[in-house]
Structure 1
Amino acid sequence: MKKRRRDLIQLSILVVLGAAVILSLVLPQLPGRGRELQPLELSVIFREADTALWSNTRLGMEQAAGDLGAELRFLTLTRTGDGAEQTELLRREADGGAGALVVVPADPENLKLQLSETVGSCPVVSIESPLEGAGLVVAPDNEALGRELAEAVLEDWRGGMVLLLDTAVGSTGVAARLDGAEAVLTAAGVPVFRQTAAPGRLAAGLRVLSSVQKAEAIMAFDPYATEQTIRAVEAGGLGQLVYGVGVSTYVVGALERGSAAAVAAWSDYAAGYLAAEGAIRLARGEAYTAEELPFTVVRGEDIYEADNQKLLFPVTS
């Protein structure tokens, strides 16, 4: 009797083990099983060669990827603002099987053509500039931002020309900021001069521009150009008030020192999180929309206000 019971127990164990083996062979072949095991790959293509200014944006993206189970791949350009190289990177990543793409466009018009030709079902999220063919745009109201920054200039203006630096000719988002600022200043009777300049050469070359010598104030409209302009003004002892966009550790220090008069800023961390979250959800077939990013104009005396501290010094969990 005991032997029969023992045999039945052994047989039961063998049946369970056999069933486990069969399941292990069948489960990987079930529809959708492989997709669940493979995390979504998200490629992020910036506009600059040096992405230090996007560090808080990257933190937001990393948080979203961690929350939603995705992997990030960050790509930079060999030369800042090289639209052709960025377009080629976007094509390569799409062809290489990226689940979704996030891009800060250097040349939205050129990227639009690439999206229509090669990306197909791979969702694309654009940061800063509207991009035809993108499933989502994460940006502030760029024209309104430029206008409010110009209002800060008017508060300080005591006469003289204001230099508007056009450093991202192909970027429609940056151009909208510049156009908004120019409209406000011109309507107020402020003489302005629009100077095209390569952002990567501002730190060394700004002081030699004849337009700079005549300017009482300088406005820059993207974060990289803002930092480089402040560096040039400080290093060259030029003395103009600088108004810009975005914040970095260096720019916050410049606001404290008075080298920067005011900057228009939004939460880079929130922008990164929303962009990555939107790309991931769109890639998974989910509906997703994002509101325009709120922004504020910050002066040196405003840095340590509670709301601005959250904006300028994000704390992540």
Structure 2
Amino acid sequence: MSIRAFVEDGVETFEAKIDGETIQWDKGLSYAKHLQTEQLLSAQIPVSDKPDEMLFIIMHQTMELWLKLVLHEAKLVVAGIRADDLDHAGKTLDRIATIQRHMIHSWEVLATLTPHDFLTFRGFLRKASGFQSHQYRELEFLLGNKREDLLLVHNDDVAAHERLTAALGAPSLYDELLRLLARRGFPIPASHLNRDFSQPYQPCDAVEDAWLAIYSDVEAHWDLYAFAEKITALEYYFQEWRFKHMKTVARVIGQKMGTGGSAGVNYLVKALSLSFFPELWSMRTRMVAPKEGPNYADPPAGSVA
């Protein structure tokens, strides 16, 4: 068994025959350097000696990594909307949906943590809580759930607080989408185009009318209709993720308070009522079927009524 050394592109390179394959590596960029595996795999630092804490840590760390990717992709969607590039933004939304489905199923791993397992180390967590996730908060702000008081728990983290403050005051993905509708000629009120974006969004009849017009003539507005369905899917999966989170917490701790002092399951239940894109949902109730063919309640032709 031998290694051949040579220089390629100014970098010392090595080659060896391993299991019938010619394998090369160099002193430039390695797998471990690229992925920072040493730092990544050394980031699991339990605060107890209980074996099940490792599952808890890795589960939440991986969720934070997926949140980072969803944030990255969602910002690309916003940029695409601003540029009227719905094709690329829609492709990115498809990727986000796939990530979200993975995130939803990942709760099943944490659900293997029984109440007894969790209680062995819960006391060591003190007041550490998922409520303090600044990435989750930034994603909520980006999607439109704006509440200034949610910044309070991040006061001690200057960088996170600055980033969240900027996200709070910036137009949300939905705000940008309404601006796109206005550019396409839909009568979106000025109050919804130029507002204090740090304040919660208030649903509007005119916005609902615009979406109803799009969904009532999909051939004339196909790109907006198809894109709106991808946006709807984003919230659909986000709510499914929230629901799975709530049920996992209920399975593990029942109705206990959260470690950060929240109402636990009951707090998570309240979050299920939040909507990022309200008129896209309310409009569906107003949609009616076109008058084609017989009424569904009419008796079949030739029958006696």
TM-score, normalised to structure 1, is 0.25
More strand by share: 1
Instruction: Give the TM-score, by structure 2 length.
Output: 0.26
